Amino acid sequence: MKMTTLTATILIAGTAVTAFAHGGATGIVKERMDAMSAMGDAVKAVTPMMRGEVAYDAETLRDAARTFQEHSGDAMTKLFPEGSGGMPSEAKNAVWTDWDRFASLAEQLGEYAKGLERAAENGLGGMQSGSMMGGSSMMGDTGSMMGGSSMMGGSTMMSASDIAAMPADGAFNMTTQVCSACHSRFRAEED
């Protein structure tokens, strides 16, 4: 009986902490969470299109690309001033101890998003299509990007023009991989 009460208390306390973590942010931490959430919503708006669940619409993808541009680069890094980690933020301390890498991923997102905006008019390439995969130099480059450490380090970043030459879905995948690359290193909790 006592045991049950104790467990219930812990559960309730745990819930309160979680609610605080997601709802209690203020100031700059709230600002960056809002910016990130706007990008998360943009990804959600585009994903069904990429899966072929709804008709492809270039303008929806361009909207998402602009949202990513708006919140990347300096616009993103200025929302992470030193000392703004800790509860309720999910930002890891590595943001500040490995700032150059963090900033370069923020930069990379902007660059790729510029390319993505232009790639929207290419339409879906169908990554499954044999001709697309048939060793064109563009896909070859992509392959080496994926295989290397460049995603994590941003050392051999592709240019906006490289991304713009890809089918829309390929460009979208490349762009969202930058989100994941940053989250896996710098964010305590994955979506």
CB 67 within 8 A of CB 158: no
Please, what is the minimum distance in Å from the beta carbon of residue 174 to ligand HEC? Answer: 11
Task: Give 110 or 167: the residue with its C-beta nearer to ligand HEC.
Answer: 110
Task: Give 53 or 191: the residue with its C-beta nearer to ligand HEC.
Answer: 191
Task: Give 33 or 174: the residue with its C-beta nearer to ligand HEC.
Answer: 33
92: left (phi over 0), alpha (psi -120 to 50) or beta: beta
Calpha distance 5→61 (Å, rounded): 51
Please, what is the minimum distance in Å from the beta carbon of residue 165 to ligand HEC? Answer: 20
Please, what is the minimum distance in Å from the beta carbon of residue 154 to ligand HEC? Answer: 9
Task: Give 88 or 132: the residue with its C-beta nearer to ligand HEC.
Answer: 88
Assigned token pair, 167: 């089918």
Please, what is the minimum distance in Å from the beta carbon of residue 159 to ligand HEC? Answer: 17
Angle, vertex CA 58, rays to CA 55 and CA 62, nearest 5: 135
Q: How far is CA 79 from CA 30, 72, 104, 165, in A?
A: 9, 10, 15, 31
Task: Give 24 or 123: the residue with its C-beta nearer to ligand HEC.
Answer: 24
Mark 163-182 as b/e (b = at least 16 C-beta within 10 Å).
bbbbbbbbbbbbbbbbbebb
Please, what is the minimum distance in Å from the beta carbon of residue 6 to ligand HEC? Answer: 31
Please, what is the minimum distance in Å from the beta carbon of residue 43 to ligand HEC? Answer: 5
Q: How far is CA 3 from CA 8, 11, 12, 55, in A?
A: 9, 12, 14, 55
Task: Give 21 or 124: the residue with its C-beta nearer to ligand HEC.
Answer: 21
User: What's the residue count for the chain?
Assistant: 191
Q: How far is CA 103 from CA 66, 76, 80, in A?
A: 19, 9, 10
Chain positions contacting ligand HEC, by CB under 6 A: 29, 32-33, 36-37, 39-40, 43, 68, 89-91, 95, 102, 105-106, 109, 176, 178-179, 182-183, 186-187, 191
